[in-house]
Structure 1
Amino acid sequence: MTGTADLWHHYGRARAGRDRAVPGAFHWTWSQDGGPGPELLGDLSGRTVGDLGAGAARHAAHLAVRHAPARVVAVDASPAQHGTATDLFGHLAPRLRIVLSGAVPHLHTAAGAYDVLYSVFGAVDFTDPRELLPAAAAALRPGGRLVFSTLAHHVGGAPARTDVTASEIPARTPDGGTATMRRWVLRAHVWAEVLDGAGFTRIGTEVLPATGEGPRAADTLLVTAHRPR
C-alpha cells in the first residue's frame, strides 16, 4: 500500500461517528435493507469465516456476535477502513480478527484455512477475479462455500460487462482530490465462467431487484459457489 492513495479514506466516516453498534441484521443487497440474510452462509457454529473487503467490519461483527463462529476474519486493504473497524469492533477479539491486507495476499497465506468466505460489495468487486477467485478456492477447505453480492449492472443503469473487464469508477483521495478505481461489474454468466475456471462447483446466481428508485439504485447479483469435497 506504500505510495498508494487510500481511496476508501472517506467511506463510512459519517456513519462511524454516529453508529457504533453491532448491527442486528445482515443484508446482501446494495441498499442494505432487504433480501436474504446470513442463512446463505450455512450453519456457522464453530466455523472459520472470512469477510473479503470488510470495510468497517459491520457484517463481520454481526456474524461474530450472533452466529457463534469459531472466528470471523475481516480483511481489508484500506488503512482508513481497518482503523475504523478496529475502533468500532476491536473489542470483539479474538472471535473477530481485523486484518489490514489485500484479499489476494491474505488468501495466499491461508491455504485451506476457511470454511466460508464472503464479500458484500467488497473485495470481489474491486479485485481482478482471475486472481481473487483461484486464491479463494485454495483458501477454502474441501466443501467450503463462497458467497458474494455484487452489482447486477452499473450504478446509473449501464449493463454489466460481457467479459472480464474492469470499469473505471469515480473515487476520492484522502485530501479530497478526484481519482478513479477499478470495479468489476460482470454479467452472471461471466462470473459463473470465472468461478468454474477457478475450480468452484455448484455455482448459483440470482438477481435481487432494487428496493427503491433514484440514480443510485441498483439490482444486486447474488452468487454462491463451493470448493469440491
Structure 2
Amino acid sequence: MPARHDIAAERELWDAYAESVFAHDAEPRFRWTQYADHGPGPELLGAPRSVLEIGCGTGRAVAHLAQRGVHAKGVDLSPVMVAKARERWRATGARFECAEVLDFLAEDGATYDAVYSVFGAAWFTDPSRLFPLVARRLAPGGVFAFSQPPAIPGAYGPQGMYKGGFAGPALFTYRYSHTPRGWRNLLRRAGFTRVEARVLDAPTPGHIGTLIVRASR
C-alpha cells in the first residue's frame, strides 16, 4: 500500500517542531551530518550562484550560503518555521517560501545551480515524485545533494513516524529509506548522472552514520 500523506496533519507536526527547535539555532551554519564539526561542508554543492534548500527547517544553512554571496532560497511546509526563519535570518539576504515541496517544484519557474536537503524534504517525500521535479529545476550541470540517516537494515521504502511521545493526537508523516544502491537507482531513473551515495561513519565508532548522496543533472 502506498504512503498516504496528509499534508495538513504533517504541517501541524512540523509547526510543533518549529516551536522547539529555534531555541537552539543561534547562528548560520552548514553541515550535512548530525554531528558537530564532522563530514564535508557546502563544497559538495560545487560553486553555485543560486541554491534551493527543500525542507529547509530553521534555515540556518540557507543563511550561511546567503552570507557568502549565494542567491539562497529555502522552502518549507511549516508556516511557523518559515516565519521564524524570515525573522531570524533577514539580515543575511536569505529568502524563504512556505509551500508543499512537490507543489513548489512543479510551479516554480526558476532554475538553480544546486538543490539540496539536509535531513529535509528528500527524507520525507516520495523520491519517485520528488526526483523528476528536482531535475526540472536544476540548471544544466546542476547538483542535487542530500543527507539523512541511513536505512535500518531490511526496512526500505516509506517508514511511518508519529510525532514524538506516542501519545496525543495521531500526527504522523513518512520517511523514505533505501540502501545507497537503491538511492543511486532512483536518481538514475529520474535522469541524474554522476550519482554518488555512501554512508559516512559517525565520529564515534558504533554510532549512527549519515547517508550522503550527490548527483548531477
- Tell me the TM-score range normalised by the shorter chain: 0.7 to 0.9
Letter in 2 for 1:61: A
Indicate the residue corresponding to 2:3 in structure 1: none
Aligned with 1:9 (options 10, 15, 21): 15
**Cα distance between partner residues in 2 of 1:52 and 1:187:** 21
**Cα distance between partner residues in 1 of 2:7 and 2:201:** 39
Equivalent residue pairs, number: 210
Aligned with 1:181 (options 173, 179, 192): 173
Change (3 A) 1:14 1:193: same
Larger relative helix fraction: 2
SS at match of 2:132: helix
- Say which is worse superposed, 124-133 or 7-16, in terms of deviation: 7-16
SS at match of 2:114: strand
**Cα distance between partner residues in 2 of 1:91 and 1:6:** 28
Indicate the residue corresponding to 1:64 in structure 2: 66
The 8 Å contact of residues 52 and 124 in structure 1, kept in 2 or not, is answered as yes
Residue 37, structure 1, aligned to residue 41, structure 2: yes
The 8 Å contact of residues 86 and 95 in structure 2, kept in 1 or not, is answered as no
Per-residue displacement from partner, 1:26-60 (whole Å, max 9, x unpaired)?
2111334410111111113xx11000100010111
Letter in 1 for 2:31: H
Mapping 1:148-187, distance limit 5 Å:
148-153=146-151, 158-159=152-153, 161-162=155-156, 165-171=157-163, 177-187=169-179
How far apart are 1:169 and its partner, in Å?
1.5
Per-residue displacement from partner, 1:12-32 (whole Å, max 9, x unpaired)?
544523643223xx2111334
Superposed structure 1 runs of 4+ greater than 6 Å apart: none
Indicate the residue corresponding to 2:182 in structure 1: 190
**Cα distance between partner residues in 2 of 1:160 and 1:39:** 32
**Cα distance between partner residues in 2 of 1:106 and 1:8:** 17
The 8 Å contact of residues 111 and 138 in structure 1, kept in 2 or not, is answered as no
Change (3 A) 1:49 1:171: same
**Cα distance between partner residues in 2 of 1:91 and 1:109:** 27
Instruction: Give the unaligned 5+ runs of structure 1.
Output: none
SS at match of 1:193: helix
How far apart are 1:9 and its partner, in Å?
2.1
CA-based RMSD = 2.4
The 8 Å contact of residues 25 and 60 in structure 2, kept in 1 or not, is answered as no
TM-score (norm: length of structure 2): 0.86
How far apart are 1:11 and its partner, in Å?
2.3
Change (3 A) 1:190 1:58: same
Indicate the residue corresponding to 2:200 in structure 1: 208
The percent identity for this pair of structures is 35
The 8 Å contact of residues 51 and 60 in structure 1, kept in 2 or not, is answered as yes
Letter in 1 for 2:137: A
How far apart are 1:107 and its partner, in Å?
1.3
Residue 106, structure 1, aligned to residue 104, structure 2: yes
**Cα distance between partner residues in 1 of 2:65 and 2:37:** 17
SS at match of 2:15: coil
Indicate the residue corresponding to 1:84 in structure 2: 84
- Say which is worse superposed, 84-93 or 99-108, in terms of deviation: 84-93
**Cα distance between partner residues in 2 of 1:15 and 1:58:** 12
**Cα distance between partner residues in 1 of 2:205 and 2:81:** 28
**Cα distance between partner residues in 2 of 1:19 and 1:224:** 26
- Say which is worse superposed, 53-62 or 79-88, in terms of deviation: 79-88
Letter in 2 for 1:106: F
- Say which is worse superposed, 76-85 or 54-63, in terms of deviation: 76-85
